[in-house]
Chains A and B, each alone.
Chain A
Amino acid sequence: MVESLSARNIVKHYGGVVALTDGNLEVHAREVVALIGANGSGKSTMSKVINGVVVLDGGQLLLDGKPIDFPSPQTAKNAGIATVFQELSLIPQLTVAENIWLTREPLNQFGMVDQKTVHARTEELLALFAGTFKTDLHPDAPVASLPPDEKQIIEILKAVSFDPWLIILDEATASLDSRQVGRLFELVQKWKEQGKAIIFVSHRMEEIFRIADKYSVLRNGRTVGAGNIKDINEKQLIKLMIEKESVLGFLRGEAKSGERIEQEISLEAQSLTTDYLRGVSFKLRKGELVGIGGLRGQGQRQLLHSLFGDLPYSGTVKLFNKEVHFKHPREAMRNGFALVPGERAKEGLLYIRSILDNLLLPSWKRYGLPLKVNQAKMDATQTGSSLNLKMAGLEEPVSSLSGGNAQKVVIGKWLMREPKVLLLDDPTKGVDVGTKAEFYTLLTQLSEEGKTILFYSSDDEELIGLCDRVLVMYDGMIRTELSGNTLTKENLISSSLGVTNGGAE
């Protein structure tokens, strides 16, 4: 069995962009190394160098002290290195079993794939996460039909299926719910005992401290610190990541909730029902920042999209006491709604178009006839600077921005329409700590300006720190409403899991 892998002074360019200038990483058997860094610091590139997906431009990889080259993913795989990719490496058209065993299908004597063995071994792997699936997950299910968390689990199972020595978990927990994360961490402990090494790439501090033995911090393509996780705390880690001390305090408007009760009710839903939602009712006040919590995929997304007129629903929705029923997002927009979608790459942005184009996209009505290009540019510039958007210029494509800044563009394009109701679908997913802090300030500010914000997040801390109230969803219904003293982490997690009825579904 292999004992160690080290990457030394790794350099990697993508065209003119330098992703890594001096990346270093040391990983030994029976330990979990957390690879930490802000978005764009080179974490993903680092893992791609180690698993042979990209070829390094400089530096050295050592396996047990001996230099080694990984010119292709296959060579790294042969050396026992498995990766759980953030952008999934699953093929949607293939089934669960076909995906897991791709390139390593057990064959019979005629060179045909041995379906029976494949089936049995897939069942074995699925059993590792048994009880955390929402759907009836079976080996022959096409991957395209699975929800994101289950796809992620299949990705994990695919990586461990060939009994690797080193497992790289690249943001593998980002789309998992807390039960699934818990199960994954149990498995990580087991793998450690079996002599495996794990590289854990994550933004979630709580998880890093829960699972990692060592840490290694990247900043702007350079490794700026490494050591035992015991010897460092959260604040120090964040400091390493962003140079200056972070301001990740939550700036919740203190004691404002009393004031807000006086405010009129802006958005009201009564027994909202869709394929998935089973009667959701709530009332939001003007200037309120209300969170939606719960495990991933309990109908949060459906709720936001129905309100935005993107999904057909039955039930009543009232906007400032006037009944509305949006059949198309266009109608919702006209009434001052804005939706910041969860998958910004797919639903929120035109990646190859410029920042300007993206910002102006929902507002052309205002600038289009007659064409007011200068006014549009001025407004866009103002929105950009009020969001503290870090960019080379408005004409640059959105693809040149880091994840956090790209997300700011998604929000910015809606803010330009001055919405009354903001619907946010997990806006901080995959966003680095620094940008998150700015984002929290922005949300607080917006709610103080009197906008109503309905905010779904998969990050519990965020909901507790930021929101006035949190609606916890479970299986298409609002299970509990937490606010004030009841808004604690314990309550949030236990109601997310549906503990009150014994955790059964």
Chain B
Amino acid sequence: MKQSGWDALVARRPALFALILLVLSLIINFILQPNMFARETLNSNMRVFLPIILLAAGQAIVILGGGIDISVGGTVSIVNTVLATRVGLEGSPEQMWQFVFLSLLAGLIAGAINGFFIAYLRLQPIITTYATSFIYAGLALVILPNPGGGIPAQIVSLYRNSTPFSLPLAVYIIAIVLLVWLYVSSTRYGKFLFAVGGKADAAYETAVPVTWVQFSTYVISGLMAALSGIAITMLSGSGNADIGGPMTLNSITAVVIGGNALSGGVGGVAGPIMGAITLGILQNIISFADIDTWWETLIKATIIVLALAAPGIVNLFRRRKRS
């Protein structure tokens, strides 16, 4: 019954593996690209990583609460196409901010729809969000059938080139997300989140508002997806209804690498953020190491499998040693 040092460490620091992986990939990247910590390189990297970081943070909340959200990519696409078509290249900054607000509202509604089906009608999260992902992606296609449109260049430049106090804008946004998470996780809502994800029946018997907590995780995820959509639109400056699709799996991958249990109740948001950064750096490494791009999927998948298997492999070796 006694816990060994390793068990305790893993239990207390589920993001440990994520941190190790992040440091390793940073070192490799640094060897291949010695100027990676220069202000310009850092900024250009971080602004590319930010959309997936935001998406992973939202996904992390849903997964912590015992669910999963496969529709986030669709929400990103909706936000991207709305901004690209309604604001336009010639639009004014005021118009942009108006539609940013509308985008957040759209994300909130998309999340609320998922939450309603899953928490109140008790449908399977994976099936429900898989279904709604097509609705959202389909809606994005209706809004913008062919890639095009855009947002004002000055907004794009604001996103791409702001480096207050020599640090990329993305760093500040990540810091805000982390601070908010730090606060939320130490509030009652934070405890509820872990409780619902850990064992929903027991949480219900303890009078935790389980349904409401589950609903809220999807709303949060929808909002984060909208933020992610805004970020990616500001990065690319144009619209494309297919932009969100591949991001969904990346967000889930980031959460898994980040040490959160897919079964819920274990982990945090810092780990998934590190996971998202690691994913981005891997992409860099692949391009700098002159590896053909078709290796990318294979390498990414290998890392996911390793991340999933790491605790099991460690346990296997420890069992061997004992017997």
Residues of A within 8 A of B (CB): 53, 72-74, 77, 83, 85, 88-94, 98, 102-103, 105, 107, 110-113, 115, 134-135, 142, 144-147, 158, 275-276, 297, 312
Give chain B's interface residue range (CB within 8 Å of chain A).
20 to 34
B contact residues around A110 at 8 Å (CB): 183
| Chain B residue nearest in CB terms to A114 | B186
Q: In the assembled complex, how far is the CB of residue A296 from the closest CB belonging to chain B, in whole angstroms? A: 11
| Chain A residue nearest in CB terms to B11 | A142
Given A92-B199, A94-B191: A85 and B322 interface contact (C-beta under 8 Å)? no
Cβ < 8 Å to A, chain B residues 37-94? none
Q: Which of B122-130, B205-213, B248-256, B274-282 contacts A (4 or more CB under 8 A)?
A: B205-213
Q: In the assembled complex, how far is the CB of residue A310 from the closest CB belonging to chain B, in whole angstroms? A: 12
A-B contact pairs, 29 of them (CB 8 A): A53-B205, A74-B207, A77-B207, A90-B199, A91-B198, A91-B199, A91-B202, A91-B203, A91-B265, A92-B198, A93-B198, A93-B199, A93-B266, A94-B191, A98-B191, A98-B194, A102-B191, A103-B188, A103-B192, A105-B188, A105-B191, A110-B183, A112-B183, A112-B187, A113-B186, A113-B191, A135-B1, A142-B11, A144-B11
* Most chain B CB neighbours (cut-off 10 Å) among A53, A85, A93, A134: A93
Query: Do B186 and A112 touch across chains, with their CB atoms under 8 A apart?
Result: yes
B contact residues around A89 at 8 Å (CB): 201-202, 205-206
B contact residues around A77 at 8 Å (CB): 207
Give 18 new A-B contacts, CB below 8 A, not counting A103-B192, A113-B190, A275-B322.
A89-B205, A89-B206, A91-B194, A91-B198, A91-B199, A93-B265, A94-B191, A98-B194, A102-B192, A102-B206, A103-B208, A111-B187, A111-B188, A112-B187, A142-B11, A144-B11, A145-B7, A312-B322
Chain A: interface secondary structure?
A: loop
| Chain B residue nearest in CB terms to A134 | B1
CA gap between A73 and B205 in the complex, in Å: 6
A contact residues around B2 at 8 Å (CB): 135
CA gap between A105 and B323 in the complex, in Å: 43
Q: In the assembled complex, how far is the CB of residue A81 from the closest CB belonging to chain B, in whole angstroms? A: 11
Query: Do A94 and B195 touch across chains, with their CB atoms under 8 A apart?
Result: yes
Query: Do B191 and A107 touch across chains, with their CB atoms under 8 A apart?
Result: no
Q: In the assembled complex, how far is the CB of residue A473 from the closest CB belonging to chain B, in whole angstroms? A: 15
B contact residues around A102 at 8 Å (CB): 191-192, 195, 203, 206, 208
- Whether a CB of chain A sits under 8 angstroms from the CB of B120 is no
| Chain B residue nearest in CB terms to A276 | B1
A contact residues around B208 at 8 Å (CB): 102-103
Partner of B207, one of A72, A92, A112, A275: A72
Query: Do B322 and A94 touch across chains, with their CB atoms under 8 A apart?
Result: no
- Whether a CB of chain A sits under 8 angstroms from the CB of B293 is no
Q: In the assembled complex, how far is the CB of residue A168 from the closest CB belonging to chain B, in whole angstroms? A: 12
| Chain A residue nearest in CB terms to B182 | A112
Cβ < 8 Å to A, chain B residues 129-176? none
- Whether a CB of chain A sits under 8 angstroms from the CB of B204 is yes
| Chain A residue nearest in CB terms to B320 | A312
- Whether a CB of chain A sits under 8 angstroms from the CB of B3 is yes
Partner of A145, one of B3, B188, B266: B3
Closest 6 CB pairs of A and B: A312-B323, A93-B198, A91-B198, A74-B207, A93-B265, A89-B205
CA gap between A102 and B195 in the complex, in Å: 8
Partner of A107, one of B11, B188, B201: B188
Query: Do B187 and A145 touch across chains, with their CB atoms under 8 A apart?
Result: no
CA gap between A102 and B206 in the complex, in Å: 7
Given A91-B202, A92-B199: A113 and B207 interface contact (C-beta under 8 Å)? no
| Chain A residue nearest in CB terms to B205 | A89
A contact residues around B197 at 8 Å (CB): 93
* Most chain A CB neighbours (cut-off 10 Å) among B3, B198, B204, B265: B198
Q: In the assembled complex, how far is the CB of residue A175 from the closest CB belonging to chain B, in whole angstroms? A: 14
